[in-house]
Amino acid sequence: MNVYPSPFQVAELALAVPIVVGSLFSLVAVSHALVWLHWPRARPAAEFLPPVSVLKPLFGADKNLHENLRSMCLQDYPNYQVVLAVQRMDDPAIPAARAIVREFGESRVSLCISNTPPRANGKVENLVAAFPAARHDVLVISDSDIRVEADYLRTIVAPLADAKVGAACTLYRGACARRFVEKLELLSFNVDFLPELIVARAVGLTNACLGASTAIRRETLQSIGGFAALVDYLAEDAEMGRRIGAKGLRNALLPVFVDTMIDLPNWKAWWQHQTYWDQNARYVQFAGFLALPLLKAVPFALLFAALRQFDAMGLGVFAAVLAIRFASAAAFLVLGAKDRAGLRSLALLPLRDIASIAPWLSALFLTHFTRREAKFAVTRDGRIIGRES
């Protein structure tokens, strides 16, 4: 009698690991994220409303750029300025930026233009250029594709009243997805990224700031070397969070959302952005990055069904995995992210899960990254070492 498992049985057992792990993780991550988002929190005893300088790095004419910038200039906040920064004299973002300056005045909005093409992390280089124009000691970093509500500054600045908080950041969810690839990206943001981030912070896998929406004191920024110290890092927000933590300060994550406008014109843009995000995950937490495929039950359930030639058991396992995936995703979209558009795109989730394996494999081996159509070399520890021609 042959007591050893056959190759077929070994393959089934190997596929069962990510199927079980991925399905359980979907349920646990969403459950934890929903509890964390809705957990009652004490309100500050008094409002903390220091003057604020908002730094917005711009590059290109992002989707709905004018509306995004305008939302930051309509804050219910007593004293703040907005600094817009671009790196090219002919940047397509400049007309929208100038229109905002005209509408709200130079006392509210400043425009900094530096004719220096990105040589490393272009966003941070933009922030370096914007920093001298910042008049106040509380700084808010807000990406160009972010749109906010009128109470945004009151919300994100409030945790800095605690001297033990080094930085505060909000969650951000994908919005305004119209094209097919944009809907896939929205699901990546709102179904996977958000609950995974909340769980990763809960178990101590990451202490990163979220660079798209962060508030920090000037003195804290300067104590970690300022923006210039972050310019050579691919994941500058992770490095910022690490340095703040090393100072004995806490990075506060707020259970509120801002919207990031998803703008992907084609499959090439989707591929580049997915690979870029996976590379960020690789350099922020390599062990977590390696574990990501184990959290994707759908592709492995499909392989399991195919291995069994789509018999009753194979199809039953695949159907069960899909049911868990759809149910957990729908629960988070409705109760967590408050994203009805994502709910309407939920049927695309299995395709998104299967397609996401390829960029992950690419990120595992790539020694360069592409951002804003420019290619940069990157070291194994996530440092940018130069722009490639």
- Catalogue the active-site residues: 237
Identify whether the C-beta of residue 210 lies closer than 8 Å to the C-beta of residue 169: yes
User: In Å, what is the CA distance from 301 to each residue of 190, 220, 313, 322?
Assistant: 22, 47, 11, 9
DSSP string, 273-304: HHHHHHHHHHHH-HHHHHHGGGG-HHHHHHHH
Residues contacting residue 43 through CB under 8 Å, at least 6 positions apart? none
Tell me which H or E stretch contains 139: strand 138-142
Identify which of 111, 74, 108 has the alpha carbon closest to the alpha carbon of residue 93: 111
CB 371 within 8 A of CB 122: yes
Q: How far apart are CA 97 and CA 91, in angstroms?
A: 10
Residues 6+ apart with CB under 8 A from 332: 30, 33, 34, 190, 191, 194, 195
162, 44 in Cβ contact below 8 A?
no
* Residue bearing tokens 């922020």: 284
Q: Which two tokens stand for residue 175?
A: 């919005």
Name the amino acid, one letter, at 376.
F
Q: What amino acid is encoded at 208 in this protein?
A: A
DSSP string, 207-236: ----TTEEEEEHHHHHHTTTGGGGTTBSSH
Mark out the alpha helices in the chain (DSSP H runs): 7-38, 65-72, 94-104, 122-130, 152-157, 180-187, 194-202, 218-223, 236-246, 267-284, 286-291, 297-307, 312-335, 340-344, 349-355, 357-365
